[in-house]
Amino acid sequence: MDMQAAQYAARLWLQTDAAFGLRDVPLVLPKSTVSGEGKSTGRPGQTVTPLARPAYRSAPQPPPMPARAVATPQAEVRRPVVARTESPLAGSQGADIPRPVKLPPIPDGRLDALEAITDADKPQLLAKLQQQTIAALTPYLSEIATNVVFGDGDPAAKLMFVGEGPGIEEDKSGIPFVGRSGQLLNKMIIAMGLTRQTVYIGNVVKLRAAEPDSDSGRLRDRPPTPAEVALNIPWLHRQIEIIRPQVIVTLGAPALKYLTGTVEGIGQLRGTWMTYRGVPLMPTYHPSFLLRAYTPENRAKVWGDLQQVMTKLGLQPAQQK
Ligand code: URA
């Protein structure tokens, strides 16, 4: 199949029920389980009780970043303090984390003002950063996070997607967005006339965050704590400094919040151009949100956001036959 036919097929597919998992997921979840857009899941009819949050395994102080200039102060991120109960996964560093945790500031300065690097240098620079990231985060691996999920794609990509953090499939494979959300993201990328190999995909956190479900006791993904974000996000900033994409698309509320420092919700900001250190940033919904909140309106919104990105990058929409 040639590229145009693949794009066209992907677009048609995006308009189908199967694309958004309608066959597998209910159309509507009760309000109590859908508190907002994000990675965490809720089962229909189930009210999720907050649990203690097993974080990554305890480890010494994070090693220093091979960092660049940093400076802007950033708002403290407050999360409700949850009562800690013993869990089968106890033994984490979570109990020692003072709350609220102050996140490291978003690095200062435009990316285009940094010392020049060529596209040819980027694979090597990124490979070195990957080694450093793995070395820094390996002490935090646990029964839950068994792999450091660094990123995937073209180190010189013009377009970079940033999600929240790996789930179980990503943890197993060490590659971001390979589960159901990833399959949907792949379709979106193809619909834009691109491929997974020509974009770059990363996450705010590189280690899976999960907690036991209150009913089944099975692990289910949860948003990373501020302490986990603080540990991981410097590596994402450095990744973006090397890739220097022309456009960043944040997938979901956490990626938007942690890359821009905004406190406004994704519902208000998606579809509106923002910037990350001079780079145009388009916030859109996370694919997992689409899988849960399947409506033609949400699909149209995401497709509209991606079309804005295509226009910015000069990508030609495939001709509809
Ligand atoms: N969700 C994310 O935010 N990132 C992944 O890598 C997978 C699912």
- What's the pLDDT score for residue 20? 42
Band of the pLDDT at 244, cuts 50, 70, 90? very high
* Residue 203 included in any domain: yes
* Residue 168 included in any domain: yes
Band of the pLDDT at 317, cuts 50, 70, 90? low
**What average pLDDT does this structure show over 56-65?**
59
User: Is 163 close to ligand 1, i.e. is its CB under 6 Å away?
Assistant: yes
Which of 236, 246, 202, 235 shows the shortest CA–CA distance to 112? 246
* Residue 39 included in any domain: no
Report the CATH number at residue 181: 3.40.470.10
For a ligand 1 pocket test, name from 147, 152, 172, 177 the mutation site with the most ligand atoms within 8 angstroms of its C-beta.
177
Lowest mean per-residue pLDDT among 28-32, 36-40, 218-222: 28-32
Length of the chain: 321
Band of the pLDDT at 95, cuts 50, 70, 90? very low
Domain count for the chain: 1
Which of 137, 162, 167, 136 shows the shortest CA–CA distance to 279? 162
Measured in angstroms, how far is the CA atom of residue 7 from the centroid of ligand 1? 23
Quote the tokens at residue 228: 């986990």
User: Is 211 close to ligand 1, i.e. is its CB under 6 Å away?
Assistant: no
**pLDDT > 80? residue 236:** yes
Measured in angstroms, how far is the CA atom of residue 171 from the centroid of ligand 1? 10
Q: Which helix (H) or strand (E) holds 280?
A: strand 279-284
- What's the pLDDT score for residue 19? 52
- What's the pLDDT score for residue 16? 54
User: Is 203 close to ligand 1, i.e. is its CB under 6 Å away?
Assistant: yes
**What average pLDDT does this structure show over 111-130?**
98
Torsion angle in degrees (nearest 10) through CA of 133, 135, 136, 139: 130
**pLDDT > 60? residue 51:** no
- What's the pLDDT score for residue 85? 33
Quote the tokens at residue 12: 């048609």
User: Is 151 close to ligand 1, i.e. is its CB under 6 Å away?
Assistant: no
**What average pLDDT does this structure show over 109-134?**
98
Residue 34 zone, left/alpha/beta (φ > 0; ψ -120 to 50; rest): beta
245 near 278, Cβ under 8 Å?
no
* Residue 59 included in any domain: no
Measured in angstroms, how far is the CA atom of residue 163 from the centroid of ligand 1? 5
**What average pLDDT does this structure show over 256-266?**
97
* Residue 192 included in any domain: yes
**pLDDT > 50? residue 49:** no
- What's the pLDDT score for residue 101? 86
**What average pLDDT does this structure show over 128-142?**
98
Domain that holds residue 17: 3-26+116-320
* CA-atom Rg of the chain in angstroms: 19
For a ligand 1 pocket test, name from 168, 203, 239 the mutation site with the most ligand atoms within 8 angstroms of its C-beta.
203
Lowest mean per-residue pLDDT among 6-20, 164-178, 184-198, 240-254: 6-20
- What's the pLDDT score for residue 33? 35
User: Is 223 close to ligand 1, i.e. is its CB under 6 Å away?
Assistant: no
Which of 210, 257, 222, 220 shows the shortest CA–CA distance to 236? 257
- What's the pLDDT score for residue 77? 42
User: Is 164 close to ligand 1, i.e. is its CB under 6 Å away?
Assistant: yes
- What's the pLDDT score for residue 301? 98
Q: What is the pTM of this model?
A: 0.77
Mean pLDDT of the chain: 81
**pLDDT > 70? residue 143:** yes
* Residue 19 included in any domain: yes
Measured in angstroms, how far is the CA atom of residue 189 from the centroid of ligand 1? 15
Which of 226, 180, 201, 220 shows the shortest CA–CA distance to 82? 226
User: Is 170 close to ligand 1, i.e. is its CB under 6 Å away?
Assistant: yes
Backbone angles phi, psi at 47, to 5 degrees: -95, 125
User: Is 166 close to ligand 1, i.e. is its CB under 6 Å away?
Assistant: yes
* Residue 66 included in any domain: no
Q: Give the C-alpha separation, 249 to 151, whole Å.
A: 15
User: Is 241 close to ligand 1, i.e. is its CB under 6 Å away?
Assistant: no
Band of the pLDDT at 269, cuts 50, 70, 90? very high
User: Is 147 close to ligand 1, i.e. is its CB under 6 Å away?
Assistant: no
Helical segments of 138-286, H only: 168-173, 180-191, 226-243, 253-260, 266-269
**pLDDT > 50? residue 151:** yes
* Residue 85 included in any domain: no
**pLDDT > 60? residue 34:** no
- What's the pLDDT score for residue 91? 36
Using a pLDDT cut of 70, give the percent of the chain over it: 68
Band of the pLDDT at 294, cuts 50, 70, 90? confident
Question: What separation in angstroms does the CA of 321 have from each of 5, 17, 318?
Answer: 9, 21, 9
- What's the pLDDT score for residue 252? 98
